[in-house]
Amino acid sequence: MSASVALELDVNAITGNQWNPKIETALLRSINKTADRARTLASQDIREQVAFPASYLAPSAKRLFVSTKATKASPFEAVISGRDRPTSLARFTNQKPLGGGQRHRGGQVAVTVKPGVRRYIKRAFLITLNNSNVGLAVRTDGGPPNNAYAPKEIGKNLWLLYGPSVDQVLSAASNGGGIYEEIVPETLDFLNDEFNRQLDLLNAL
């Protein structure tokens, strides 16, 4: 996991000379709640760029998640990370594997990686893999398929096809653009509101 979005706070700028353990608790709680909110916002923006199923980016799936929470040991920072493993192209089709050696209509499989854009892959078919997952495979006349991203050979002239990883889509955020620019304004507003809410709950000031 190489791409990440870090949420950090300048504590002095927020608290000035007013500092006590309750303020620290309010900061830690608000940062972590905001990190969860930012993860949700990032998921929504990622799915506007790449047609990942919503369940694929759920927090429990650990493909887009809060990898570091703010604690007293490493305070005032939370990190959102994305998995860097390429995504099976089978995730981007509504078609199902066919039994008995049947081929899909026209000998091709339709995939939608970019929302609203359907692409047809010739000589492709869906197969059930040894781990019970579904893969999208293509046969070639020799060598890897042209213009394929990270194909994996599983037999003679037989290749599994993949699409972008969550990490790839998130990586623009690490450079201060793309998703980062989209989520920052709402994230900062949420953080400010949540911090003030926590201060009130804890009667910190």
Q: Where are the beta strands (DSSP E) in 64-198?
A: 64-68, 77-82, 87-88, 108-111, 119-122, 124-128, 134-139, 149-155, 158-163
Domain locations in the chain?
4-85+166-202, 87-163
Tens digit of pLDDT for each residue in 160-175? 999 999 988 887 555 6
Each residue's pLDDT, cut to its tens digit, for the chain (205 residues) gives 445 666 666 666 666 666 788 888 999 999 999 999 999 999 999 999 899 998 999 999 999 999 999 998 877 888 899 999 999 999 999 998 887 666 777 789 999 999 999 999 999 999 988 888 999 999 999 889 988 888 999 999 999 999 999 988 887 555 656 677 788 889 989 998 999 999 999 886 6
Q: Kindly report the length of the chain.
A: 205
Say how many CA atoms lie within 13 Å of 148 toward its Cβ: 24
Amino acid 122 reads K
Euclidean distance between CA atoms 130 and 134, whole angstroms: 9
